[in-house]
């Protein structure tokens, strides 16, 4: 949870320079994780049990998927209309 909070704060302040309503933006990020966490758990099981992948490879694939999808989600949905609005 601390990692998500840290990432949210840095993205809001430095990457997207957004002045978005913080509670609303945090709820949007929480919604992302409410969907992503169960899906990634299922994917991890499918990678290892179904495809026979090494556990570290499966975790790495999920981390890469999280990195890409969370950035795009924050870029276009969470902060999309408020990018560069912070002074």
Q: Are 21 and 84 in contact (CB under 8 A)?
A: no
User: Looking at residue 55, what is its pLDDT?
Assistant: 96
DSSP state of 82: T
Q: With H, G, I as helix, E, B as strand and everything else as coil, classify residue 51.
A: coil
pTM score: 0.86
For residue 80, pLDDT over 80 is answered with yes
Mean pLDDT of 40-64: 97
CA separation for the pair 30, 46 (Å, rounded): 24
Q: What is the pLDDT of residue 1?
A: 85
Q: What is the mean pLDDT of residues 8-14?
A: 90
Task: Calculate the average pLDDT of the chain.
Answer: 94
Question: Is residue 86's pLDDT more than 80?
Answer: yes
């Amino acid at each position: 949870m601390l990692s998500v909070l840290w990432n949210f704060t840095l993205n809001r302040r430095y990457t997207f320079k957004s002045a978005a309503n913080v509670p609303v933006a945090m709820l949007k990020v929480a919604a992302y994780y409410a969907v992503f966490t169960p899906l990634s758990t299922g994917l991890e099981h499918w990678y290892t049990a179904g495809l026979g992948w090494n556990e570290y490879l499966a975790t790495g694939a999920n981390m890469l998927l999280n990195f890409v999808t969370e950035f795009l989600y924050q870029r276009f949905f969470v902060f999309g209309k408020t990018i560069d609005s912070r002074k």
